[in-house]
Structure 1
Amino acid sequence: MSNPPAVENFCAFFNKLDKTCTEKLYEVYTEEVVFNDPLHHIEGRKALERYFAAMYENVERCCFTYHTQQQQGNQAFVTWTMEFVHPRLAHGKPVSVEGCSALTFAEDGRVSQHRDYFDAGAMLYEHLPVMGRVIRWLKQRLG
């Protein structure tokens, strides 16, 4: 069974996204897009463009493996594993993070609302020198 074109376009775009093509967000997002993740709340495509440009500034590699993709009407849900390499995180080794995206599409098939769910500690905090040790210690104590 094939996935709806809007979901396919979204997934394909993110696997091409890097610091050189953030200006092409208009292909996937509406002008008034609202984006949320555990670390940010962003309104508007220009603000989202600045966010992605800053985020990808030092990322050496980032790719997504998509798992479940479901769409009903203008709502979609995509689960994924993101693997990225950043020289200041995990000593420059690949970091993998599981997550999902809840999407709302406008009439033209572009995303008008995008909410990402993922463990911010697994993505960022656990890989920082001092904070990482503290978070890993806490997880061991609570687990």
Structure 2
Amino acid sequence: MSHLEKIIAWYSTLSPTSLPEIHALYAALATFKDPFNEVTGVAAIQQIFLHMFATTENPRFIVIDSFQQNQQAFLSWQFLFGLNGKTYTVNGGTHLRLNDQGQIIDHRDYWDPAEELWQKLPLIGAPVRWLRKKFSASQ
């Protein structure tokens, strides 16, 4: 199994029980960035996932596609989770840079929180949808 296949398998089955395996997949000083977080170090990255498990219901990742060239990889994925009894799906992508041992040294998630999350939430959803429509060229 390649390093990328191991990473994908881990994300596909990520749970509080499997979370400690993060130390084998990420380099000690790995960086992680998404629309809400920017941290350095495996402990800080692990904390992001602990927070995810504490604040969402049944979170899981489905890796749709992946490719790797040398020590870089890109994954397209869906993140499914529950919040207040409702299920949400977020579509996104991840750019990974790997070291010579195949560990992740840089993890960057790309997804649009306005489209994928905010416009679906009560209270702020309507203003976000209005703003998106206002700035759309296809009004």
TM-score (normalised: structure 2): 0.86
Asked if 1:52 corresponds to 2:49, the answer is yes
Contact 1:39 1:120 in 2 (8 A): no
| 8 Å contact kept, 2:56–2:81 | yes
Q: Which residue of 2 aligns with 1:126?
A: 119
Among residues 96, 104, 108, which one is paired with 2:101 in the alignment? 108
Contact 2:59–2:82 (CA under 8 A) maintained in structure 1: yes
- The residue identity in structure 2 corresponding to 1:56 is F
> Alpha carbons of 1:14 and 1:63: their partners in 2 closer, same or farther (altered >3 Å)?
same
Shift of 1:120: 1.2
Identity of aligned residues (%): 29
Mapped to 2, the partners of 1:46 and 1:20 lie a distance apart of 16
- What is the Cα-based RMSD across aligned positions, in Å? 1.8
Question: Please, which moves more after superposition, 127-136 or 5-14?
Answer: 127-136
Cα distance in 2, alignment partners of residues 46 and 68 from structure 1: 27
Cα separation, partners in 2 of 1:18 and 1:86, compared to 1, 3 Å: farther
1:12 to 6, 9, 12: 9
In the TM superposition, what whole-angstrom CA distance separates every residue of 1:35-81 from its partner, at most 9, and x where no partner exists? 01122111000111112101221322223332331111111111112
Once the two structures are overlaid, the 10-residue window that deviates more, 109-118 or 23-32, is: 23-32
The answer to whether the 8 A contact 2:52-2:59 is kept is no
Higher mean C-alpha deviation, range 93-102 or range 111-120: 93-102
- The one of 131, 137, 142 equivalent to 2:130 is 137
TM-score by length of 1: 0.84
AA at the equivalent of 2:52: M
| 1:26-105 aligned within 5 A | 26-87=23-84, 92-105=85-98
Q: What runs of 5+ residues in structure 2 fail to find an aligned partner?
A: none
